Structure formats: structure tokens, C-alpha cells
Chains A and B, each alone.
Chain A
């Protein structure tokens, strides 16, 4: 469904005759071309997983993180123009900091998401700016449970049980819909997320990838951290073993 908005797509301050702001839609395309990121909210926490494509063997894999800490209890990942996303992360961190300073406690994710949404939306109103070319996933664990939100380039945000962004989001969503995340613990979700990212990774078009995962929940005492390397490696081993077992039945149907 690609359409060219000839003449009405030159700036974010223009509507098309059928009521679309093309600049915002083009920003969404930037997100859709990026590598996949998913997040799932379980019963006692949130797990975030990112398919980090290896662009060059010379890259050090632990630098250039796709998952960031916004506050002690909030983790963020993104898809799209990563530099845009880091700007948003910087603003979000300031928001968390000023909230803590005035109200003496950690910012509720719902409130932070509203602020991030308003910030991203502001850049869709003027011709001097372009919209942010990234979608942001935010997850946290608070006194009354885990929270998961996703903000799109348009500034729209929703709360999710599970969400996926990036090139394989449709396949990932199909897999995620098979889960019942409210019944799963973080440890179980780590395995599921690793599994899904391996399933949806396109072996043909993309080179190898590194799995970056983080979690925040009961298991981490409410602190957002990277999932321990051994756990990720373990989950990946299990996934690969299961894939090899069923590789015999991977004959695709003929079109």
C-alpha cells in the first residue's frame, strides 16, 4: 500500500486532500525499515528484545546499545532512525529527573509516555521540523505492576501487553498473539522473546544478528537491567536446538 503524495508531502504542516500528513507517514516508513524490536509485559515484569543486525565484523557488539535506561525502573528501545531516538531518550531522562526532584519519587510510566508523546507530536506540526523517524517502546515495573507503552512518530501512544516494531513486526505480532503474556513470568518470557526474534529474522535478506535483551520486574527488584549474558546465550541455544529439530519440516509450500 505505498502511495506517493505528490505535492502534499513537502512539509509536516500540510494536509493532503484526503486528510493525511504524508511526512508523518514517511517517518513511519523509516521505522518499518529498521531491524525488529519487541517487548512483552508478563505478570511480574517486562522483557524487551532487539534484533541487532551486525553491519560490520569490526563493530564491537556491546557498544551502540539499542536498549537504554531512562530511569532506574524504566527501559526504552526503539526502531527507525536511532539518532532521533537518542534525542528522545535524552529528553525522557530529563523528564524523569525533574519529576523526581519535584515529587520525590520515580515517575509513573503512563505519565512519562504522555510527555514523550506530546514531545514527538510537537515535531509533526511545523514545516521547519521533520517528525522523529522512530518508534519508541517504554517498559517499567512499578508498585502496582508492570507497564508497557509504545509511541509512534505521529505522537500516538498505546499501552500494550506485547508489541513489535521494525521490519518483521507483522510476523512477530503473529507469534506474540499466540502467547498469553499475563500468565508468564519474566524468566519464561526471556525464552519466548529469544524464540520469536530468531523465528522472524530473515536469514536471506539480512546477515547475522546479535540478540540484545533487557528486563525489569520482580526478578530485578524493579531495576531495569540487561538480561544476564548466560541466560540469553542459554535461551538462544535452546531456540537453535528446537529449530534444528524441526528443520526437517521446514519445507515451504510451493506458491
Chain B
């Protein structure tokens, strides 16, 4: 068993007992006709990278996704429950669910159980009533719609970059480029983010998923 003694007390590496965390960089941007969402692919237990190819972009319905940050267990459990609720909701209503509805259900759980959860979630998708929408549901359990949202530990390093690069009325491709570059910068500075970039574009016609491998990430100042 991997352990050694420090001052006579047995010491184990933290990754043997630390909780899985998606110390993360996640992002979502609205455009006219849909949304672009993106995430890194690193899941850590302490300093050990438990999964370097994680998929943090989780489908809730055919046209609504969520980006997960915080505790991997908590966010997976919440996403499963919300998916279940919305599935029944869609069946009972005989209609596709609205993004606002999905965000509201996320909010109900994240707010009412906020003391027991560590979950920072971005809900994004397309519906025929309001088109592409992004809703941020951070740790506290609030729910707010934004033209673009960033989340996870890596997001702290790119607030300035995103604020300076965002423009209203960006096209689908401009949004993809915005997300890709922002996440690449976050991943290069945040130890808990890294690996590859997963993107997804959600529109009326469906979802297109793109993977940008680690060696093809945009590169910035490296000296």
C-alpha cells in the first residue's frame, strides 16, 4: 500500500482519498440560431488526473446540454435527475422542453440542496421559442441568462480575455473560435484544467460535436 511515515504518522498521497473534482474550464456562448458550448477534459483527485479525456458536456435533452464543474459525483447525479424530470415533462406535454425550463429544474436542485452540493453548472441549448440560450447556475443556486458564460476553476484566468473579445452578433464560427481560444488560455494557466477541448454546437437541426486534441490547441505566449 503506497504510504510512508512522517514523524511516525502514516501519510498517504491525497489522491487515494480525495474526491473526484472537475476542476475545470467550461464555457457557453449564444449566437443567432443556437449555442456553442465547450469544456476541457481533466478530472482530478487531488493532484492525480483520474481522467484526462473526460466529457463534461452532458446531454439533458436532444437540444439542451449542461457543462459541469465542481464535484464530478454531484454534477453527474444532478444531471441524471434533471434529465429524468425533463424526459417525463416532455412526454406529458408532448412537446420539446424549453431551455429555460431545464435551467429552472437545475436551479431547484442546486438551490434547495446548496449546502450539500458543490456544483457549478452552465445550461445551454436551443428551443423554438427563444432560440439559443445560455443560463448560468453557479454554486449558490441562482439562475441567470447570459449572452455568454464561463465557469470552473480555470475561468478565473480568462474573465478579462472574454470581456475583451466578446461582441454581440457573432456568427457560429466566430463563437466556436471564441470558445476555443478562451478555453485554451484557461487550460494553459489552470493546473486543474487541461487535456483536450470538447466543443458542441446546438442548433435547430441538432448537435455537432468537435474534439480538439491537446497537440492542436491554439498556442499563445510560451517564450
* Size bracket, chain A contacts: 10 to 19
Residue of A102, A108, A114 with most partner-chain B CB within 10 A: A102
Is A110's CB under 8 angstroms from B108's CB?
A: no
- What's the least CB distance linking A184 to chain B, in Å? 26
Segment among B52-60, B98-106, B182-190, B212-220 that sits at the interface with chain A: B98-106
* Residue B92, interface by CB 8 Å: yes
Main secondary structure of the interface of A (DSSP, over half): helix
Minimal Cβ-Cβ distance residue in B for A108? B93
Q: Which 9 A/B pairs are nearest by Cβ-Cβ distance?
A: A104-B104, A103-B101, A103-B104, A102-B108, A104-B100, A111-B93, A143-B129, A108-B93, A104-B101
A101 to B107, CA, bound (A): 10
* Size bracket, chain B contacts: 10 to 19
A104 to B130, CA, bound (A): 15
Main secondary structure of the interface of B (DSSP, over half): helix
Is B92's CB under 8 angstroms from A103's CB?
A: no
List which A84-114 residues lie within 8 A (CB) of chain B: 101-105, 108, 110-111, 114
**Are A103 and B105 CB-contacts (below 8 A) given A108-B93, A111-B92, A114-B92?**
yes
- What's the least CB distance linking B182 to chain A, in Å? 28
Chain B residues engaging chain A, CB cutoff 8 angstroms: 85, 89, 92-95, 98, 100-101, 103-105, 107-108, 129, 143
Residue of A103, A105, A143 with most partner-chain B CB within 10 A: A103
19 A-B pairs whose Cβ atoms sit less than 8 Å apart in the complex = A101-B108, A102-B104, A102-B105, A102-B108, A103-B89, A103-B104, A103-B105, A104-B100, A104-B103, A105-B98, A105-B100, A108-B93, A108-B95, A110-B93, A110-B94, A111-B92, A111-B93, A114-B92, A143-B129
Q: What residues of chain B lie closer than 8 Å to A105, measured between beta carbons?
A: 98, 100-101, 104
A143 to B98, CA, bound (A): 12
Minimal Cβ-Cβ distance residue in B for A101? B108
Q: What residues of chain A lie closer than 8 Å to B85, measured between beta carbons?
A: 102
A105 to B135, CA, bound (A): 15
Q: What residues of chain B lie closer than 8 Å to A143, measured between beta carbons?
A: 129
A102 to B100, CA, bound (A): 11
A30 to B143, CA, bound (A): 48
- What's the least CB distance linking A108 to chain B, in Å? 6
Q: What residues of chain A lie closer than 8 Å to B92, measured between beta carbons?
A: 111, 114
A101 to B85, CA, bound (A): 14
- What's the least CB distance linking A225 to chain B, in Å? 24
- 20 A-B pairs besides A105-B98, A143-B129 with CB distance below 8 A are A101-B108, A102-B104, A102-B105, A102-B108, A103-B104, A103-B105, A104-B101, A104-B103, A104-B104, A104-B105, A104-B107, A104-B143, A105-B100, A105-B101, A105-B104, A108-B95, A110-B94, A111-B92, A111-B93, A114-B92
Minimal Cβ-Cβ distance residue in A for B109? A102
A108 to B101, CA, bound (A): 12
A1 to B108, CA, bound (A): 53
Q: What residues of chain B lie closer than 8 Å to A110, measured between beta carbons?
A: 93-94
A114 to B103, CA, bound (A): 24
A143 to B96, CA, bound (A): 14
A104 to B133, CA, bound (A): 15
A102 to B111, CA, bound (A): 11
A102 to B86, CA, bound (A): 11
A104 to B108, CA, bound (A): 9
Minimal Cβ-Cβ distance residue in A for B98? A105
- What's the least CB distance linking A239 to chain B, in Å? 39
A2 to B195, CA, bound (A): 78
- What's the least CB distance linking B143 to chain A, in Å? 8
